[in-house]
Amino acid sequence: MLKLMAAALLAEGTTVLTNAPDIADVPLMADVLRGLGADVTVDGDEVTIVSPAMPSHHADFDAVKQFRASVCVLGPLMARCRQAVVALPGGDAIGSRPLDMHQAGLRAMGAESSIEHGCVVASAERLTGAPIALEFPSVGATENILMAAVLADGVTTVDNAAREPEIVDLCEMLAEMGAQIDGAGTSTLTVTGVPALRPTAHRVVGDRIVGATWGIAAAMTRGDVTVRGVLPEHLALVLNKLVDAGAKVDRFDDGFRVRQDARPEAINVSTLPYPGFPTDLQPMVIGLAAIADGMSVVTENVFEARFRFVEEMVRLGSDARTDGHHAVIRGVEQLSSAPVWSSDIRAGAGLVLAGLVADGVTEVHDVEHIDRGYPDFVAQLRSLGGEIERVSD
């Protein structure tokens, strides 16, 4: 969603995004765009963005410090303004996410780019299409390079591009705006630059990570949950893992149902870029493993600091240890309540789910992280039968 909001900067005029999630990051991104000269209105699940004839090229620290996705304005600003100053973003504490590949892609297209005084500073007299090979299929780098390339001169090819459904959604929106992109959903994107784009109306793809969180919650609690608005093919590996854990999974055109009747069985998971198991679901699958029958091994191949979540699970009575990129979890029949602290969006959600299968009352602190990725999290859990309330400090 946030990358689509940034893409609206690529065309002067009014772009409308529907099916927008009611999460805290949307108004934060709206503030970033307003700081660049856009007029943004958020009305329920509809976001209207009026992009100016020439955006400001400077996204300051106050606007971008709260979340990582703000760096996605770098590509559109380079495409429209041929210059950009974007403060290094903040966001979740899940490990190092350098901008080297973002900058390397812009340099390949003829830009100069450096880190100065806490900002990414980039400029170019013109952007020219070029062959670009990513060292890793980074979602953020793929998005920024793609959005810079759509208005560059000539043809840009991006090899080892990210293939996530969100990348495909961005490509579809850009195509609606008049961009020429081939290879969406594959590891090679070919972009033929065009002189200008036009605004559009676009429906945002359903959030597969949120949908899968509810599916894993059903498996953890021996519940029965139906999720609508998410394409099951975007979660093929995740749903198969839930079947391995003993769940019954039904797939529909626009969703899926997960039912778990008995204690989950242990599963092994390795996180990888799409179509692999999403790193964003690692905390939830560790929560599932914590109460599963047997020993599970979870391998983290994307973000090195994400295992700090395991320390909080140990507070809840999980029999878990980490060794480098691996976490070994021996399931226990029930977790025990304790105060725990969330370090990021997914860790927060994972700890809440763990609290549902712990005895007594579990307190999850720093839950403002959860608001950034999950709409109406507490209300949704209550509607599913969870005993949960949100309290102020």
Spatial neighbors of 247 by CB under 8 A, at least 6 apart, are: 218, 219, 258, 259, 260, 264
CB 107 within 8 A of CB 153: no
Looking at residue 93, its pLDDT comes to 46
Binding-site residue numbers for UDP-N-acetyl-alpha-D-glucosamine are 68, 280, 302
216 and 332 share one domain? yes
CB 4 within 8 A of CB 204: yes
Domain count, the chain: 2
- Judge whether 57 lies within some domain: yes
- Judge whether 201 lies within some domain: no
22 and 153 share one domain? yes
CB 349 within 8 A of CB 370: yes
**Final residue before a domain boundary, out of 132, 166, 193:** 193
Altogether, the residues listed in the chain come to a count of 393
CB 248 within 8 A of CB 239: no
189 and 108 share one domain? yes
- Judge whether 75 lies within some domain: yes
47 and 163 share one domain? yes
Give 352-378 pLDDT, tens digit per residue: 999 999 999 999 999 988 999 999 999
Torsion angle in degrees (nearest 10) through CA of 354, 356, 359, 364: 60
In sequence order, what DSSP letters do the residues of 91-155 get, joined into one string?
A: ---SS----HHHHHHHHHTT-EEEEETTEEEEE-S--B--EEE-SS--HHHHHHHHHHHTTSBSE
212 and 134 share one domain? no
- Judge whether 392 lies within some domain: no
Binding-site residue numbers are 68, 280, 302
Looking at residue 67, its pLDDT comes to 66
CB 345 within 8 A of CB 370: yes
Residue 9 CA to residue 79 CA, distance in Å, equals 9
**Final residue before a domain boundary, out of 132, 165, 193:** 193
187 and 212 share one domain? no
Q: Where are the alpha helices (DSSP H) in the chain?
A: 2-7, 25-35, 61-64, 74-81, 100-108, 139-149, 165-176, 208-221, 236-244, 282-290, 308-315, 345-356, 368-371, 377-383
Looking at residue 94, its pLDDT comes to 42
230 and 354 share one domain? yes
Q: Whole domain around residue 89: which residue ranges?
A: 1-193
- Judge whether 393 lies within some domain: no
Looking at residue 393, its pLDDT comes to 58
- Judge whether 360 lies within some domain: yes
227 and 373 share one domain? yes
Looking at residue 306, its pLDDT comes to 77
Looking at residue 10, its pLDDT comes to 98
Among candidate residues 326, 335, 374, the one with its CA nearest the CA of residue 355? 335
Q: Which residues are catalytic?
A: 92
CATH code assigned at 106: 3.65.10.10
How many Cβ atoms from other residues are within 10 Å of residue 54's Cβ?
Answer: 10
374 and 255 share one domain? yes
Residue 26 CA to residue 4 CA, distance in Å, equals 11
166 and 277 share one domain? no
Largest CA distance in the chain: 63
CB 32 within 8 A of CB 63: yes
User: The pTM is what?
Assistant: 0.94
Looking at residue 41, its pLDDT comes to 98
- Judge whether 391 lies within some domain: no
Lookup: tokens for 280: 């964003």
Torsion angle in degrees (nearest 10) through CA of 11, 7, 134, 168: -110
175 and 226 share one domain? no
Residue 180 CA to residue 193 CA, distance in Å, equals 7
Query: For the chain, which ranges sit under pLDDT 70?
Result: 61, 63, 65-68, 89-98, 393
Give 71-110 pLDDT, tens digit per residue: 899 999 999 999 999 988 654 444 445 689 999 999 999 9
233 and 284 share one domain? yes
**Final residue before a domain boundary, out of 163, 193, 223:** 193
Among candidate residues 293, 3, 24, the one with its CA nearest the CA of residue 143? 3
- Judge whether 294 lies within some domain: yes
Burial class (CB within 10 angstroms; exposed 0-12, middle 13-18, buried 19+) of 191? buried
